[in-house]
Amino acid sequence: MEARQDLERPLTVAAVRIPRAGLLALGAGFAAFGVLLFLGRNLIFFYDEWTLITQSPRWTLVSFFQPHNEHWSTLLKLTYEALLLTVGLRSYLPYLALALALHVASALLVFVLVRRRAGEVPALVACVLILLIGAGSEDLFWAFQIGFNGSIAFGLAAMVLLDRPDASWRALVGASAALLGSLMFSGVGLLFLVALTVELGLDRVRRRNLLALALPLVAYLAWFVAFGRSGLTPRFPSPSAWLTYV
């Protein structure tokens, strides 16, 4: 009787199982990484990257916390500093490889989140769409987007760790560290902070996971008060600035 009821039950997309779906997603990630890195093999440093390159010899400890285009970019600056000290300007590939690795990591984390909530078929589709997102081609091949890609990857990692109601204290600590890293790569991390605050706040079962957001929030506010305000651009120019347009 139970078997007959199972046969009569409508099959949903979420119920469809794909053998080794995780390995398929991982394989797609490696393949996309290789193809994209090959396509970008002849690229060179561009635009904002030269700001970091030319300023890096004069950086002090305080410089790493000063905003870049209003963003908290400490981890972006540290990444470029490390790459400049190790590989220099001889090749663009190491810079691009890191940006693409973060992009692939983001796609795989999306796979994990979607699989938990909607099944393996939507998860694989979402993963592949993100891996080969044509509309983002300019950003995929610009290593400076290590900043945005880092924020997205670390923000998604925090979402994965906080997705379960029975998250252990290790998961909470890991999520807190990941969200802090997301904020320290760029302002995109604020989107994840807000999204997690709303999602966890509305979920009674997972509301205790809000504890993981305390440290990142306090850290960002402290950075903004100490450094972030200096990077703000006035929304409206001063009256004296209007004279330049007259």
pLDDT band at 137 (very low <50, low <70, confident <90, very high): confident
Buried b (16+ CB within 10 A) or exposed e, 222-237: ebeeebbeebeeeeee
Residue 206 has pLDDT above 50, yes or no: yes
Q: Can you tell me the mean pLDDT for 157-175?
A: 94
pLDDT band at 231 (very low <50, low <70, confident <90, very high): low
pLDDT band at 236 (very low <50, low <70, confident <90, very high): very low
Range of lowest pLDDT (105-114, 129-138, 210-219): 129-138
Q: Would you give the DSSP letter of residue 90?
A: S
Give the residue carrying structure tokens 């320290």: 184
CA 37 to mean position of chain CA atoms = 19
Rounded Cα distance, 213 and 206, in Å: 13
- How much is the pLDDT for 5? 52
Q: Would you give the DSSP letter of residue 165?
A: T
Residues 54-105 pLDDT 10s: 988 888 889 999 999 899 999 999 999 999 999 999 999 999 999 999 999 9
Q: Can you tell me the mean pLDDT for 38-55?
A: 92
- How much is the pLDDT for 240? 53
Mean residue pLDDT of the chain comes to 89
- How much is the pLDDT for 230? 73
Residues 184-197 pLDDT 10s: 999 999 999 999 99
| Residue 179, phi then psi, degrees to nearest 5 | -70, -35
Assess contact for 74 and 65: CB atoms under 8 A: yes
Residue 7 has pLDDT above 70, yes or no: no
- How much is the pLDDT for 132? 92
Greater model confidence, 61 or 215: 215
**What residue segments make up the domains of the chain, in order of their start?**
21-53+62-231
